[in-house]
Structure 1
Amino acid sequence: MPGEIALLVNPAARGGRSRSLLAPVLDRLRSGGAEVSVILGESADDALERACTAVAEAPGALVAFGGDGLVHLAVQAVAGTDVPLGVIPAGTGNDIAAALGLPVRDPLAAADTVLRGRVRTVDAARAGADEWFAGVVACGFDSRVNERANRLTWPPGMAKYVVALAQELRSFRPIPFRLDLDGEVVEREAMLVAVGNTGSYGAGMRVCPAAVPDDGLLDVTILGAVPRGEFLRTFPRVYRGTHVSHPAVTVHRARRVTLDAPGVVAYADGERLGPIPLTCEIVPGALNVLV
């Protein structure tokens, strides 16, 4: 069991509904014998700076209390260090926690997992020079929906993604991608490309269903150009992971992947990275997690 825990908190997770879960989680951790300090940044940059400062002091663990976005932030602080990462899922999607086999619907059970202190070493990946990701990098139709949704001020919550999806469908055209997969170049028009260390994103979309976080490889899923109607029929299959059997879908595995396409922005673990080109490279064993 980690004796000292730095608990990184996102009070806005689940639209602020996670706040009511924080006190019981703190009680469970402290009653289990952990000494807990709470990190609550005034902004994402401030939270990251505070998390990095905490990790430099070598606590027993840095624990993210939030969703995939907060886990992504915590990974920036702990990847490549000996400090393990704990996750108490309190977000909307919690895809990274699910990939690690953590209880995603029971914060107190997740707190008990932290207290048990069982460490599993998994991979993380570099995206560009100075960003880590633990889950999935997405670019194409899905990232353009994210871009639209982030510009909307209404409706609130997940509803804005439905509005953004409908808007993007009206104008979306296949994108000419150029991929370099460990030196093998693939040039193809595609609806989207996903690079996964783990298998799912967006609250359960199993875009890279065979990805595992400790095999030293990235899974690359390419959904090639299809007519709009076919795309609408095919894309929902991502929730079951059966889209990979569609003739327009190809899956590759590589250690190093460079993505390039005009006018495309990449997202990692649901967080905006910026315009591509972008190189993703797996770093085996870069992350210790409490499971």
Structure 2
Amino acid sequence: MPGEIAVLVNPAARGGRSRGLLAPVLTRLRQGGAEVSVIMGESAADTLERACTVVAEDPAALVAFGGDGLVHLAVQAVAGTGVPLGVIPAGTGNDIAGALGVPAKNTLAAADLVLGGRVRTIDAAKIGRDEWFAGVVCCGFDSRVNERANRMTWPPGMAKYLVALAGELSSFRPIPFRLDLDGEVIEREAMLVAVGNTASYGAGMRVCPDALPDDGLLDVTILGAVPKSEFLRLFPRVYKGSHVTHPSVTVRRARRITLEAPGVTAYADGERIGPTPLTCEIVPGALRVLV
């Protein structure tokens, strides 16, 4: 891909272990004829401001070098602009990259994919008026695990989430949800509700296994109240997506979803959004991505 490529970098990705992967990626992009600049802010807000400034100058692409959290930030800058988004997965969770067919374990192959310049138009979704997401919004048990894990300093990586999961399970109780799906209201106790533009989150959990990022719809997975013993038996099935056949799981599709649940904080693409209620609405064709 000729022209300017702006590479958005998260130096803390994989606990800082991704730094050694960056230089070879930049070299590969420059050898491919691209003019490359690097964006690395002092905070998430500073990084986003810098990314928006670069996108306003209409580069050939904005490339996120990191995990789903950095992709989420990049989506805030490029959604609706026409500037293509590239992803070079270098984080703990790389689910959005996986949904786009980007190789998750080979950053140089991902860089070659960026250089190839093949653009696909996909949907994105908005939470309220200002926040975009490309992957999955989670509310309930999974978001509470995220909250607990984010307060922990040890162990590193995915192990932290497994420890948080065990800790949260000991005290968790089903949550009363109220959902409005394009006017259809569902009120029920549930373990969790996930709203997916793509299929997976949490490094491979296919919570919305049939979600497609270009069908103009959001998939909604509702795991109803089940005993903890049943939840433990059901949970491993999320990695294959076979949990959706369980009688306590309901799947719906809608363009606009409003979620209400007391004491629940929502996460989108692994990033903390805030307490419910919140409304998610699909915006067809809002993203151009390099695939």
TM range (shorter): over 0.9
Tell me the amino acid that sits aligned with residue 247 of structure 1. P
Match of 2:33 in 1: 33
Helix, strand or coil at the partner of 2:272: strand
Instruction: Look up the match of 1:266.
Output: 266
The Cα shift of 1:188 comes to 0.8
Q: Give, as a single letter, the amino acid of the residue that structure 2 aligns with 1:82.
A: G
Please state whether the residue corresponding to 2:69 is helix, strand or coil: helix
Determine the C-alpha separation between the residues in 2 that align with 1:74 and 1:236: 31
Aligned counterpart, 2:203? 203
SS in 1 for 2:157: coil
Aligned residues: 291
Quote the residue 1:96 is aligned against: 96
**Secondary structure of 2:73 counterpart:** helix
Once the two structures are superposed, the pairs formed by residues 92-171 of structure 1 within 5 Å of their partners are: 92-171=92-171
- Shift of residue 157, structure 1, vs aligned partner: 2.8
Aligned partner of 1:187 in structure 2 is 187
- Once the two structures are TM-superposed, the CA of residue 265 in structure 1 deviates from its matched residue by 0.4
Superposed displacement of residue 2, structure 1: 4.0
Q: Indicate the RMSD between aligned Cα atoms, in angstroms.
A: 0.7
Structure 1 residue 235: deviation in Å?
1.1
C-alpha offsets along residues 188-210 of structure 1, whole Å, 9 cap, x if unaligned? 10000000000000000000000
For the 8 Å contact 1:87–1:290, the answer to whether it is kept is yes
Q: C-alpha offsets along residues 181-235 of structure 1, whole Å, 9 cap, x if unaligned?
A: 0000000100000000000000000000000100000000000000010000001
Q: With structure 1 as the length reference, what TM-score do the two structures score?
A: 0.99
What are the ranges of 5 or more consecutive residues in structure 2 without an aligned counterpart? none
Secondary structure of the structure 2 residue equivalent to 1:231: helix
Please say if residues 136 and 201 of structure 1, whose CA atoms lie closer than 8 Å, have aligned partners that are also in contact: yes
Match of 2:277 in 1: 277
Partner of 1:44: 44
Q: Percent identity?
A: 84
Shift of 1:160: 2.1
Distance 1:66 1:272 in 2: 17
8 Å contact kept, 2:15–2:156: no
1:159 Cα deviation (Å)?
2.3
**Aligned equivalents of 1:184, 1:99: Cα separation in 2:** 28
